[in-house]
Amino acid sequence: MLRIIVVNEFIGTAILILLGCGIGALVSLTFSLGHQAGNWVLTSLGWGMAVYVGASVAWSSGANLNPAVTLALTVNGTQTWASFPFYIVGEVLGAMFGALLVYLLYKKQFDTNKTPEKTGGIFYTGPAPECRSLGWNTVSETIATFVLVYWIIQQAPWEPATADQAPALGNIALGYAGVAFAVLAIGAGLGGATGYAINPARDFGPRVVYALLPIKGKQKIDWAYAWVPIVGPLIGALLAAGLYSANF
């Protein structure tokens, strides 16, 4: 079961990041056929659908795809602490692999891109320079993640975790479509503050890969900000789990 968790979370998260960051590459790279064709609506819709595809693929492990979701489901007893590190490993490595696939798929566009100093946003999140405030940026990520996680953990029927079975939404297809709509709504309504990471693996994995990629003139990585899309989502997840436990 633990092997299934790692493999499924790896594959599902990789697909999530491949499709999600691929949207960033589509609209940002100078010679992409989708350059300048995108807007925030496309970004929000695309990330929502990326969640749906990734989650549907990883259904047999519960399709967390997000350390914040894993933390909340573990804290409230839906998943076991013994499985916790296996989820995290699969999610982070999957996010890194997905980011690498985005680079390989758009390799020629990266090579000919006229604005390499702006490519970081394809892979990781951050606020507009004029709105940089680590405290308030953390609050933004906390609120957005709270909405996502609270929606997820109260979807019935969740089956309690056992030693050989991961939890899954009662109606898998409808449940994961619901998550996609939740992510779409969060992106459209709450994403403008920080780019709505709402997932530590989604930001950290691609950020590390971008730092290693051989892109000439690439954007300087803001490592001083990198903790915000990790800490904010984890706080939001704990608050969601706590509120759910207090009420149910």
Task: Render pLDDT for 32-83 as a digit per residue (tens, 0 to 9).
Answer: 777 665 678 888 889 999 999 999 999 889 899 999 999 999 999 989 999 9
Q: Is there a contact between 144 and 196 (Cβ–Cβ < 8 Å)?
A: yes
Number of domains in the chain: 1
What's the rounded Cα separation, in Å, for the pair 208 and 141? 20
In a domain? residue 123: no
Give yes or no for residue 163 having a pLDDT over 60.
no
Residue 49 counted as domain residue: yes
Distance CA 234, CA 59 (A): 22
Q: Is residue 171 part of a domain?
A: yes
What is the H or E stretch that residue 17 is in? helix 2-28
CA distance 221 to 81: 33
Q: Read off the DSSP letter of residue 129.
A: G
Give the residue numbers spanning the domain of 173: 2-113+128-247
Is residue 121 in a domain? no
**What's the mean pLDDT in 223-245?**
96
Q: Could you read off the pLDDT of 87-136 as tens digits, one per residue? A: 999 999 999 999 999 999 999 999 999 999 999 999 999 998 899 999 99
Residue 118 lies in a domain: no
Per residue in 179-206, pLDDT (tens digit) is 899 999 999 888 889 999 999 999 999 9
**pLDDT level of residue 160 (50, 70, 90 thresholds):** very low
Indicate whether 133 belongs to any domain. yes
Instruction: Answer whether residue 79 is part of any domain.
Output: yes
Residue 235 lies in a domain: yes
Looking up residue 178, the CATH number of its domain turns out to be: 1.20.1080.10
Q: Confirm whether pTM is higher than 0.85.
A: yes
